[in-house]
Structure 1
Amino acid sequence: MKQTLFSFSARKTMLLAVVALLAMGACKSKKPVPAPAPAPAPVEEVVKPAPAPAPTRSAEEIAAEKLENSFNAVAAAGSVASANQTIQETLGMFSNQETPVLIVIHEENGVKDYDEPTTIKKYLEYLKDTKKNLNFISDIRLDAAGKVSELELRRK
């Protein structure tokens, strides 16, 4: 008996269908099925200490900085009018125009030698005339109203 290649029995057809289904199932992606992600570990909340507050500057430090800037502005003024305007603004920071200004010329073992005492008005006029600020503020005293009552300078 001669059988043709295409003649199948029901049994062979079923077997062929099962093999085809298995083959199709085997053709799926070869990627492994991802395992479910593990539950994240409990995160410990790190409590950061509050940053240290910025160091607050005292009223004396703020006044000294403003005065240094004013002294430099008077010395570097381009005209007499601008120097006079800066002088008037600076005098407003003092308790009066006769506020003493002491200039230390020498110090040894805590004993200070001063140049001839002057007033703030005279010192600002000196800065305007010489156009040089050769001193820096070494000590400043404020009165109850927050105005400068005494100023001590040193050579740079």
Structure 2
Amino acid sequence: MKQTLFSLSLRKTMFVALIAMMAMGACKSKKKAVAPAPAPAPKEEVVQQAPPPPPARSAEEVAAERLENIFNSVTNASSVNSANQSIQEALAMFSNQETPVLIVIHEENGIKDYDEPTTIKKYLEYLKDTKKNLNYISDIRMDASGKVSELELRRK
């Protein structure tokens, strides 16, 4: 019986050793498992071009911005003299004091409804009196001499 016990132990030992070798053989070493990183691609130097200059603003855009600033200064003027000075500055930009100012009150399907037409002189006096600038410039037309010939406003 000792022989069978010994041979049985030997079989068990051989079986365990075989399993251990298979397990160890199945595990790859970390060196083999980690593939070498590919060589980094040569970096091309990217020459950054300077951003293109902003497009030149049209005379209408410049005039509209300047008029918006003047309208705000008339509205926020601390004194009547200051407001009158801003009004004179604005009137110098127009072809005459009777230049029409149209205020769009409604637009549907491209058809615009306007408030009662007024003149730039009356509109500036209105801003001075009410101290409220409720409109913004939506369209501005200039004549050949570079003066404003028509102004269209909309509610903010």
Q: Same fold (TM over 0.5)?
A: yes
1:107-130, Cα deviation, whole Å (9 max, x unpaired): 000000000000000000000000
Q: How does 1:62-141 map to 2 (within 5 A)?
A: 62-141=62-141
1:21-52, Cα deviation, whole Å (9 max, x unpaired): xxxxxxxxxxxxxxxxxxxxxxx986554531
Q: Max radius of gyration: which structure?
A: 1
Amino acid at match of 1:101: V
In the alignment, structure 2 segments of 5+ residues that lack a partner are 1-43
TM-score normalised according to structure 2 size: 0.69
Alpha-carbon separation, structure 2, partners of 1:124 and 1:80:
12
Alpha-carbon separation, structure 1, partners of 2:49 and 2:76:
46
1:56-87, Cα deviation, whole Å (9 max, x unpaired): 11111000000000000001101111101110
Q: Identity rate of aligned residues, in percent?
A: 82
User: Is 1:144 paired with 2:136?
Assistant: no
Specify which structure has the higher proportion of helix.
2
SS of match in other structure, 1:125: helix
In the alignment, structure 1 segments of 5+ residues that lack a partner are 1-43
Amino acid at match of 1:76: N
TM-score normalised according to structure 1 size: 0.69
CA RMSD of aligned residues (A): 1.6
Q: How does 1:38-77 map to 2 (within 5 A)?
A: 48-77=48-77
